[in-house]
Structure 1
Amino acid sequence: MAPEMWDRLSPFRDEAIARCIPADDIERWLATARPCATLTRDGDGPVVGQFGGPLLLPADTPDPAHPFVASIDLAALPADATDLPLPPDGQLLLFAFPEDDGDGDTMGSVVYIPLGTAVAERDKHAWNSFDWDDYEAMFAEFPEGPLRATANVSLPHHKSVIQPGMPWGGPHPGHPRSEELVAVWESTRADIAPEGPLQIGGYADEEAIDTDPVAVGVSRAVKAAEAGRWDGPVSDDVSDWVLLADWLAGMDVQGWESATVHWVIQREDLAARRFDRAFTSVFWNP
């Protein structure tokens, strides 16, 4: 991570020291920091994509089963904005339905279009084959417009980790003061790395967070694979997965306040550019 990003974490370190957290605990926690790209519709950062817009897909790509959210121009992302092994160019298209169906199925998808691939405009409403008016009204509120990127830094938001014999979770392994350190991040984050509606890489966040949303996504992916609703292989080890993107859908979509979409992917699938293997989970507290 760039030196200036470490410098930006100084308010966190100062606040943690003021709360009498031992220096060794603070530095071990800071070592978990990850770079991320925060995407917003305002600001001074470079335009790296857009919410909405025309849906452009290759002829051999099936109509996605979920609404179109955003497209990202990977070549326009700032250098080292994330620590993900993303392709250097091409378009990354994100699709999602910002609601948890309760069955553990994926609630979205990701399409990668390599640079130079021929594309044609597709019907953005094809996902709604049953013409549900309520969901069309929801889709009409999806945000539109250019997305600008800011290179940011991310620390874990979740207070606990599920461990054997601890069904409600316990401190992060090796970090006995993790709950206190998360509280410090909550109090200093706005001055260090303000959140935006869309984030690429980093740590997952949502309105009411206790355990890692990536771990929740992994659990749902495993269950979906076991039920035959998701193609394997699927690892149940959270360390084999990363957050590809977060969308705070509740910022824009009325009636779906608090909804957050998490696109997660296995590390080996990301390295192999198998973006069709991304799994989408949703937190929603209606």
Structure 2
Amino acid sequence: MILDQVRAEALDRGIPAGDVERWMRLVRPCALLTQGGDGPVVGRFGGPVRLPADVADPRFPLLVTIECSALPAGVTDLPLPSDGKLLLFGFPEPEGSYSMGDVVYVPEGAVTTERPEYPEGYPPDPDSYLGVYESLPDGEVRLTVDVSLPFVGVVELPEAPWMAPLPGHPHAEELAAVWADQWGGAQLLLGGYGTEHSDFAPAATIASFAVDAEKEGHRSGTSSPRAEDWVLLAEVNVDRPGAGATIYWGIQREDLAAQRFDRAHVAVYWNP
């Protein structure tokens, strides 16, 4: 099991056993969703876009549909709906930081109509986004039950406070490095801490982006700037020739509990 490997490697690196066990208390359950494996089908990449009449046509392509009733209890520590569908919209392009996608919850039994597969701003033309669409995964996704530990940054900058090591733990940086060495990545991740890139810790970065978006009029409402008030709902990793992108869907804890998925915020990490 990966936690046994993490524990053994941390001890081999000379980290005191008590500090290792303290770190292990941060473990969170998460769901890895892949197109392979023998786990149950819990959704699909792509597919038709069906939304209730009171929901506007999507601004971004549909990337993932999650069947909430297919998720076993406790597979994440998120208070997800027990039935209905979660639709995750987004696009793996470095076009900006603000609201680069949407989350729509469709309750079980809701009357829906089919919408355009390709949003107006993202046509599948050879001169525009055809190549991107061809890189997107398509088809059923299967569940693997897994666990998650934090990635923490190794540098603290005034303009990037989310890069600070986890406060109060003397070996946070070293233990995060152990986890990074063991973590194999995921095509689609539901819950957990998510994959941190060099200057991009998912929940903290999304919180910062959401606050900035409100200040600049790109988003309504009032969001908390504190990372602990946000959770990672999902992430999708898209490989493209010579580049890659990670799309993160985050939401405030209170909004998730109230199923206010229109308050979710989406950010893209672009890795050329």
* Matches for 1:141-152 after TM superposition, within 5 Å: 141-152=135-146
SS of alignment partner, residue 251 of structure 2? strand
SS of alignment partner, residue 217 of structure 1? helix
> How much has 1:215 moved relative to structure 2?
1.1
2: distance between equivalents of 1:90 and 1:167? Answer: 37
> How much has 1:144 moved relative to structure 2?
0.6
Decide which of 120, 128, 133 is 2:121's aligned counterpart.
128
Q: Which residue of 1 aligns with 2:259?
A: 273
Pair 1:111 & 2:104 matched: yes
C-alpha contact 2:60 2:122 (8 A) present in aligned 1: no
Deviations 1:34-92, CA, capped at 9 Å, x for gaps: 10000000101100000011111112210111111010000001221100000101000
The alpha-carbon distance between structure 1 residues 9 and 129, as it changes in their structure 2 partners (threshold 3 A), is closer
1: distance between equivalents of 2:111 and 2:164? Answer: 50
1: distance between equivalents of 2:9 and 2:48? Answer: 45
1: distance between equivalents of 2:179 and 2:164? Answer: 18
Q: Which residue of 1 aligns with 2:53?
A: 59
SS of alignment partner, residue 94 of structure 1? strand
C-alpha contact 1:100 1:281 (8 A) present in aligned 2: no
* Matches for 1:237-256 after TM superposition, within 5 Å: 237-250=226-239, 253-254=240-241
Q: Which runs of 5+ in 1 are unaligned?
A: 1-6
> How much has 1:186 moved relative to structure 2?
2.2
> How much has 1:98 moved relative to structure 2?
1.3
| Matched residues, number | 271
SS of alignment partner, residue 266 of structure 2? strand
Q: Which runs of 5+ in 2 are unaligned?
A: none
> How much has 1:210 moved relative to structure 2?
4.2
The alpha-carbon distance between structure 1 residues 161 and 230, as it changes in their structure 2 partners (threshold 3 A), is farther
Same amino acid, percent of matched pairs: 49
2: distance between equivalents of 1:92 and 1:106? Answer: 17
Q: Which residue of 2 aligns with 1:215?
A: 204
Deviations 1:234-254, CA, capped at 9 Å, x for gaps: 11111110000011122xx44
Q: Which residue of 1 aligns with 2:247?
A: 261
* Matches for 1:71-90 after TM superposition, within 5 Å: 71-90=65-84
C-alpha contact 2:203 2:232 (8 A) present in aligned 1: yes
The alpha-carbon distance between structure 1 residues 79 and 131, as it changes in their structure 2 partners (threshold 3 A), is closer
Q: Which residue of 2 aligns with 1:224?
A: 213
| TM-score in terms of structure 2 length | 0.92
Which deviates more from structure 2 when the two are superposed, residues 21-30 or residues 164-173? Answer: 164-173
Q: Which residue of 2 aligns with 1:186?
A: 180
C-alpha contact 1:36 1:199 (8 A) present in aligned 2: yes
Which deviates more from structure 2 when the two are superposed, residues 164-173 or residues 134-143? Answer: 164-173
Decide which of 21, 40, 64 is 1:27's aligned counterpart.
21
Q: CA RMSD in A?
A: 2.2
1: distance between equivalents of 2:63 and 2:122? Answer: 18
1: distance between equivalents of 2:75 and 2:89? Answer: 22
Decide which of 203, 221, 225 is 2:193's aligned counterpart.
203
2: distance between equivalents of 1:97 and 1:185? Answer: 28
Deviations 1:95-151, CA, capped at 9 Å, x for gaps: 00212324x321000000000101122111134377763223312332110000111
